[in-house]
Amino acid sequence: MKRLIACCCAALLLVSACGEDESSSAPSGEFDSNLVGFWYRLDEGARSSWTGTLYHNAFYISPDATYHDAGVETGTGKIALLQQSLWLRIQFAHNGRIGIDWFMPPGGEWDTLDYRVDWNVLTVSGSSPISGVWVRKQHSEKVTDALDVRFTLLIDGVQTSIPGIAPDAGAAMHQFDGYPFCMRATFAYGYRPRALSITVPKFNGPGTYTFGPNEAWYTILDHDLITDYHTDSLYTGSITIDTYDAQTMRCSGSFDITMRRYRDRNNPPELRRFTDGRFSVPIFP
């Protein structure tokens, strides 16, 4: 009997030990609280593909291990949460290993990466949206200069404006592909961006300019589907530059544009109307 009891106790200890080994080697659901906070990075020379301005990379990890995109308040230059849907998810973070999955058109990606938190510096290895070196910031901490950016319009009669919190200026004028005047405004970020671009190839200061073919366009990216609207010989508009100051690096004005989405000859053109446009934006080289 004593031998039987001893064997049973040994078996229980063995099962318990095996359970402990399995839980330590399978970190799913565990989370390192050192990751909680705002993380920020401004890559040297990083430029937004939409506006050409500096792009501020930032994200926030909450105490419940949820990932949130972050940006800056254009009016204050302070770090803040972006108002957009989540596209990256943390599966676990434990003992220097973090598992993530994220949406990358046309599908999803996932990976397990090495990470290290050294006081207020986060280093993530590998190739992913959060790989690299990040610095911890506080909510509402100033990370860039404030920008006076005003850009509003009606898109098919619906009032629209650039977001008050964004990774970059949201709207700006800059030189692009050799054009002395190119203005871009982004109305949504993430993987479903919407952006309006305006070019004036023969720009020579304040005045009114009529758009030629492909001199103004509107782009919508939805997953892996890109929809473009352009001006052409039939559908066009004009922009009026009220002020253009190379000393203060600002310009202002208004515009009204009708654009066409190109379709096959058996279908009528799909039109978009951009009316009552008003802007006062910074000029970037």
Neighbours of 47 (CB within 10 A): 14
What is the value of pTM for the model shown? 0.77
pLDDT tens digit at each of 285 positions of the chain:
334 334 444 433 333 333 333 333 334 558 999 999 999 998 755 666 555 678 889 999 999 999 999 999 989 999 999 876 667 999 999 999 999 998 766 667 889 999 999 999 999 999 888 999 999 999 999 999 898 999 999 999 999 999 899 888 889 988 766 677 899 898 887 667 899 999 998 899 999 999 999 999 999 987 667 899 999 999 999 999 999 998 999 999 999 999 999 776 677 788 999 999 999 999 887
Q: pLDDT tens for residues 188-216?
A: 876 678 999 999 988 999 999 999 999 99
